[in-house]
Amino acid sequence: MDLFIEQLPVVLEALNIGFIQTLKLFFVTLLGAFPLGLIIAFGSMSNFKPLSYLTKFIVWIVRGTPLMIQLLIIYYFPGLVFHNPIWGGGEGGRFAAAAVSFIINYACYFSEIYRGGIQGIPVGQEEAGLVLGLTKTQIFFKVKLLQMIKKIVPAMSNEIITLVKDTSLARIIALQEIIWAGQAFMKGSQGISGAIWPLFFCAIYYLIWNGVLTVLLGKLEKKLDFFR
């Protein structure tokens, strides 16, 4: 017990540093994937067939392959094949590569959710807009967007909570997120080795953060409860 009390601050400090990486990746992914997902959704709904097919093809590849493979390819491919390590070896480069992989991956999932939200809006509204002389852009931003946001909140909440846990995949390219930090104490770090309890603390960090998100997203859903 004494040993545990002595080790706890050391472990928590390491986990905090790891958790900040986790959170950084989480927020950067959301910031990038929200708008990129919308662009991809427009692409796949485009009336211009080649663009629509190309987008659907890309979405198929990204959703059809594991994120772990995408991380490995995006990080190692430029250096291995073109001998041009665009990411660099440092922590920043690993984070950038992870962020790019996550943004592309999540944008593809988001795009399908957006598409469902947009296409679920009755055609009558668009027709009414056109009759009133609104352009397509105006119809989207003034009529459809808010309704779409309201519709997709439950589906997006699901993805967002999955994203929190998926960030742990970035350890495959040695991004030192919280599980990396926790697992370091299994193999020995800062004089602590063979300890599995730091991993339980990792789990608690995830639980608390996902609890916070669940409450916030629930509130958002309530707030958007107007129009029926």
Partner 1 sequence: MKKFLALMLVVAMGLAMFGCGSKKEQTDMEYVKDKGTLVVGITDFAPMDYKDENGNWIGFDADMATAFAQKLGVAVEFVEIDWDNKIMELDGKTVDCIWNGMTLTAEVTSAMDCSNAYCNNAQVVIVSKDKADQYQTIDSLKDLTFAVEAGSAGEEQVNALGLKSTPVKSQADALMEVAAGTSDAAVIDSLMAAAMVGEGTGYENLTYTIGLNSEEYGVGFRKGSDLVAEINQFFADSMADGTMKTCAEKYKVQAALCEQ
Q: Does 87 bind partner 1 (CB under 8 A)?
A: yes
In the list 35, 188, 211, 218, the residue contacting partner 1 (rule: CB under 8 A) is 188
Give the DSSP per-residue string, 137-175: HHIIIIIIHHHHHHHHHHHHHHHHHHHHHHGGGGGGGT-
Q: Does 50 bind partner 1 (CB under 8 A)?
A: yes
Cα–Cα distances in Å, from 225 out to 39, 127, 147, 152, 219?
Answer: 26, 25, 10, 12, 10
Cα–Cα distances in Å, from 131 out to 45, 55, 56, 141, 195?
Answer: 22, 31, 31, 17, 68
CB of residue 81 vs partner 1: minimum separation in angstroms? Answer: 8
CB of residue 184 vs partner 1: minimum separation in angstroms? Answer: 5
In the list 121, 189, 213, 217, the residue contacting partner 1 (rule: CB under 8 A) is 189
Beta carbon nearer to partner 1, 19 or 209:
19
CB of residue 67 vs partner 1: minimum separation in angstroms? Answer: 16
CB of residue 194 vs partner 1: minimum separation in angstroms? Answer: 3
CB of residue 140 vs partner 1: minimum separation in angstroms? Answer: 18
Beta carbon nearer to partner 1, 26 or 75:
75
Contact of 201 with 11, CB cutoff 8 Å: yes
In the list 190, 204, 211, 216, the residue contacting partner 1 (rule: CB under 8 A) is 190
Which segment (18-26, 72-80, 129-137, 204-212) binds partner 1 by CB under 8 A?
A: 72-80
Q: Give buried/exposed letters for 25-44 (b at 16+ CB in 10 A, else e).
A: bbebbbebbeebbbebbbbb
Residue 224: strand, helix, or coil: coil
Give the separation between CA 206 and CA 209, rounded to whole angstroms. Answer: 5
**Binding residues for partner 1 (CB under 8 A):** 48, 50-51, 54, 72, 75-76, 78-80, 82-91, 93, 171-174, 176, 184, 186-190, 192-196
